[in-house]
Structure 1
C-alpha cells in the first residue's frame, strides 16, 4: 500500500489551471470516469476554474505535495447540481487525483477541507455521480457519509462501451 502523505489543501487559483487541466485530461484520455471525450486546453477550462471562487457554495480545493515545489496531487469541487433555481441548495461534488496519488490520503484531505468549507454555506445536499466500476470512489464517498441512491444504467458510452453511473447523496446543513 502506498505511503500516506501530508498534503497542503487550499482553494484553487489561476496559477493552478495548467496542472488541473492535465489531471483532468488524463481521465478524459484514459478512463471512463468522466464522460468528456475530447481533451481540453487550459483556456477552454478557465471558465470552469473561475466558476469556483474562494467562498460560496461552489468551491475548488487543490491538494499540493509539501515542499517548495508544491506539485499538485489532485482537486475536489462542489459545483451546481442543476441550473434551475430550486436546486440552488444542492451541489455536485467530485474528486480527481493525479496519477499515482491514490490510496495516500489525498482524496480524504481534499474532501475533508471541501466539506469543512461548505459548513457555513446555504447548502442542503451534496450529490456525486460515480462511473462504475470504481471501488475507490465508492469507498471515499461512503466514508464521507454519502449513501447510494440509484444507478443510471448504461447512461454513457465511452471507448465503445456503455457505462453505468451510481448516484450518491449526502445531507449537509
Structure 2
C-alpha cells in the first residue's frame, strides 16, 4: 500500500535512510539521523508537498518525497524528488510503484517540473528515472566528497504538465496573491 507518511513511520524511514548514509553515495549526508530528524522533515514538507511511503504488512519498504527546488519565487512550480527503498527490497519494483504514485499525486499540485539529483555512478537510479520519463539535463563534476572520493551529480528532469497547464497554474497563483 502506498500512502502519506505518518509520524509513526519515522523510525522505519530513518532505518532505511541510515543504511544509505553509511553504505552509499546516494545521499551526501555523512552522519546517521535520528527519527526526530526525519519527523521534522516529514512535518515540514507535508505542509505543502508530498511524502509517501510504501507499506507492506506494517513494514515500510520505501519512501519518496518532493521538496522545493529553490527558495526564490520564480522556482515555485519546480520540485526536487527523492526516493529510497529498503536495501532488502531493491530490484523488486517497489521503487517504480512508489515513484509513479508520487508523480501521479503531483498532478493535483501546482507543480510543472520535477528534478532529480543522482550521485554518479548509479545505474539503478538512472534507469528508474529514465523509465519514468525523466531525461538528463546536467552533470556537475566533483561537487561532493564522500568515503574519500569525489562524486559527480547528474540532474534529470521531467515536465509533468503541458505549457497550457503551466500557464493556467501561473494565472491561478497570481490571482490568489
Instruction: State TM-score, norm by structure 2.
Output: 0.87
Say yes or no: does 1:48 pair with 2:41: yes
Task: Quote the offset at 1:45 in angstroms.
Answer: 2.3
Instruction: Structure 1 unaligned segments of length 5 or more: list them.
Output: 1-7
In structure 1, what is the Cα distance between the partners aligned to 2:39 and 2:71? Answer: 19
In the alignment, which of 36, 51, 66 is matched to residue 60 of structure 1? 51
Secondary structure of the residue aligned to 1:51 is helix
Q: Say which one has the larger Rg.
A: 2
Instruction: Structure 2 unaligned segments of length 5 or more: list them.
Output: 162-177
Higher relative contact order (CA 8 A, sep 6+): 1
Higher share in helix: 2
**Corresponding residue number in structure 2 for 1:22:** 15
Instruction: State TM-score, norm by structure 1.
Output: 0.89
Counting matched residue pairs gives: 161
In the alignment, which of 122, 140, 148 is matched to residue 152 of structure 1? 140
**Corresponding residue number in structure 2 for 1:36:** 29
Secondary structure of the residue aligned to 1:100 is helix
Task: Quote the offset at 1:63 in angstroms.
Answer: 0.5
Q: Structure 1 segments of 4 or more deviating over 3 A?
A: none
In the alignment, which of 100, 103, 117 is matched to residue 112 of structure 1? 100
In structure 1, what is the Cα distance between the partners aligned to 2:123 and 2:37? Answer: 30
- State the superposition RMSD in angstroms: 1.1
**Corresponding residue number in structure 2 for 1:9:** 2
